[in-house]
Amino acid sequence: MGLFRRSGSGDQPASPSHTTRRRSAPPPGEVRRERRLLLRERENRLRDLGGLVMEMYRQDSFREHLLFERCAEVAQMEERLLELELLLDARRPPAARCECGAPIFWGSHFCANCGRQVGEAISSCTNCGRALPANAAFCPACGTAAPGAA
């Protein structure tokens, strides 16, 4: 059944309760898998399209309708890839930023742009050398009491 239903006085929109069901987003693993397969298929189609054009050139017989069909298929794949990218981007957490506006990379202790210290002060374990937050009482790697811990 479509969005419209027949009635005596013409077509009327169907009730919203039947058309606004929200599907849950697919798991990210499935989206990435579909994206990977679609990228591979698009590359194959582009390669085949290039071969087709070359063969048409050799035979001096261009069939535009065939080229348009193949290009339309590739364009549809690219539209779907864009949709998948948007789905994946919506799930990524926003990147942390320094006060200067530069992105903070995971594991960084200082901003790569301005050199400011990121987050709280950092000390290191006297036993294993692992970086510790300033308020840590013990090293999570070796269990040694952190320097300055009471």
Per-domain residue ranges of the chain = 25-91, 96-150
Question: Can you tell me which residue has the tokens 């811990």?
Answer: 149
Distance (Å, rounded) from C-alpha 37 to C-alpha 27? 16
Short-list 144, 12, 28, CA closest to 92: 28
Q: Which of 12-26, 42-56, 81-95, 129-143 has the lowest mean pLDDT?
A: 12-26
What are the residues whose beta carbons fall under 8 Å from the beta carbon of 40, sequence distance 6 or more?
none
At residue 119 the predicted structure's pLDDT band, cuts being 50, 70 and 90, is low
Average pLDDT of the chain to the nearest whole number? 78
User: Is 80's pLDDT higher than 90?
Assistant: yes
User: Is 6's pLDDT higher than 50?
Assistant: no
pLDDT tens by residue, 14-55:
545 555 555 677 788 898 999 999 999 999 999 999 999 999
Of the two residues 16 and 116, the one the predictor is more confident about is 116
User: Is 5's pLDDT higher than 80?
Assistant: no
Which ranges of the chain does DSSP label H, i.e. alpha helix? 16-19, 28-59, 64-91
Q: What is the pLDDT of residue 105?
A: 74
Q: What is the pLDDT of residue 134?
A: 65
Distance (Å) of CA 149 to CA 97, 125, 126, 136: 30, 11, 12, 8
Q: What is the pLDDT of residue 92?
A: 66
Q: What is the pLDDT of residue 29?
A: 86
Q: What is the pLDDT of residue 42?
A: 95
Q: Return the ∠ at Cα 103 (arms to 109 and 28), rounded to 5°.
A: 105
